[in-house]
Structure 1
């Protein structure tokens, strides 16, 4: 009987040991030294990022790498379903530069900017609205990305919604760019799009389109969002370093965002003037 008990205890000890080893492999201790800034990014997703380094998230990543004093490297993947699982969770990269606050699949840093959905119209358009509840939308053809917050209130006001897909392989399709082109060509009367996308693409039309940030919207839709960086859970020191970086270099971050025509809001949700700072 004693021999059997000893055998069972030995088996249990081995099993517990193997469990501990597996847990250590699955959740290794946080790295204290970094030989490179390894960024998880979409390689064809302007104005955020692309493989040529032309996006504002590329520029912010360069600023971070300079601050860390290490080289900048990327792991490129289309930002579709499974992006976090195939990049950050596999530990092939260490940070996502743009993540909406509250996103459940990562640990969020402090926000480094705040923006809002915006109406995009031609400069000569009669469509002048600062709220999605405005009856002027009734009967108008308005471009909206599928499953985004403006969709329901626009339908409620009687707009004729022109939909564009949300989840796409950015190597193949660019729905927001298509939505902006449709406004410029008169296919639609306007579009209501996420501010950074609206501002960037509208400014690059010839002639540029008018962008109206919907800061005064009174519908029940949530249109403004704080944007953070995303890191793995269990990495408090890395999160603290990024928070410190954001605080120290917020002015430079804001300047980069303005170069890309991102509508920036202050902490109270008010639109910032171009010469103001502290957009998070």
Structure 2
């Protein structure tokens, strides 16, 4: 899926899987039983409605850096890793991450797994988290000493980009910085418009001075920028919206064996998953909120 911004928006109608997941919250999967000892194939299911012949994943066909019909997203690569571990082919059900995503995919049993869901999304059952990231402050590296936080006085006179309706907008309001903010749309058709990519371009060209963006989106497009950019994870006070989120996979309720099997795979493949995420520039945080260096 995508960003937590997506997840927050989906709470309202009913949810828009984070623009990730952004970003974020989505729904999931019927179940698969564990591997037969030493077999490399899925076990026969007794009561859980999971397709045994393939790993069936629900995904957005045009939502880079998360998923893409061509398989270019990091969630595509992670899904390939899990399918290989299960010894079955990977099959997708493509559906835009908008209103009705869960109803038309996971709940309709057209697939069994959603690969990017923020922890706490109530329409599905979360697996254990497989990464943690945060919204970030993006700045040009050649712009002199960058702001160390949103409380830096240097930001008072700067134009800051923010995706409308995402948690960082509240931080700008609370600090009196919203007046000069440059809004970017949240609800878009990703086939034709990518606000995150546009924001990174505007920072690189000097159209705006800085930007607040969900980490996986910022990291991906910043890594492609010819102008060096810096990413600073945002922190929030006790009364402010969370800036860091744990990202899980999602499965259907009532399928504990499948959830346990996915959890085992995530644990066994954690090093490889982390390498994929870092390959896409995703800024990762540990449980204490400190950046994980590549």
In the superposition, the TM-score normalised over structure 1's length comes to: 0.83
Structure 1: 4+ residue segments shifted above 6 A: none
Aligned to 2:98: 80
Matched, 1:226 2:246: yes
| Secondary structure class of the residue paired with 2:283 | coil
Structure with greater helix percent = 1
| Secondary structure class of the residue paired with 1:96 | strand
Contact 1:133/1:154 (<8 A) preserved: no
Contact 1:80/1:168 (<8 A) preserved: no
Aligned to 2:114: 96
Structure 2 counterpart of 1:50, from 68, 74, 83:
68
Aligned to 2:225: 205
Structure 2 counterpart of 1:183, from 184, 197, 203:
203
CA 1:256–1:157 in 2, change beyond 3 Å: closer, same or farther?
Answer: same
Contact 2:164/2:183 (<8 A) preserved: yes
1:105 deviation in Å? 1.1
Structure 1 counterpart of 2:124, from 106, 109, 132:
106
Contact 2:62/2:191 (<8 A) preserved: yes
Contact 2:127/2:262 (<8 A) preserved: yes
Aligned to 2:269: 249
| Bigger Cα Rg | 1
In the superposition, the TM-score normalised over structure 2's length comes to: 0.79
Counterparts of residues 134-149 of structure 1 (less than 5 Å) = 134-149=152-167
Aligned to 2:170: 152
Aligned to 2:19: none
| Secondary structure class of the residue paired with 1:228 | strand
Contact 2:142/2:228 (<8 A) preserved: no
1:130 deviation in Å? 3.2
| Secondary structure class of the residue paired with 1:242 | helix
| Secondary structure class of the residue paired with 2:290 | coil
Contact 2:136/2:233 (<8 A) preserved: yes
Contact 2:167/2:243 (<8 A) preserved: yes
- What do you get for the CA RMSD once the two structures are aligned? 1.7
Query: For residues 90-122 of structure 1, what are the alpha-carbon distances to aligned partners after superposition, in whole Å with 9 as ceiling and x for unaligned?
Result: 110111100000011111000000011111111
1:127 deviation in Å? 6.3
Query: For residues 7-39 of structure 1, what are the alpha-carbon distances to aligned partners after superposition, in whole Å with 9 as ceiling and x for unaligned?
Result: xxxxxxxxxxxxxxxxxxxxx941366101111
Aligned to 2:133: 115
Contact 1:112/1:246 (<8 A) preserved: yes
Cα distance in 1 between the residues matched to 2:236 and 2:145: 15
Aligned to 2:52: 34
Aligned to 2:89: 71
Question: Unaligned stretches of 5+ in structure 1?
Answer: 1-27, 275-280
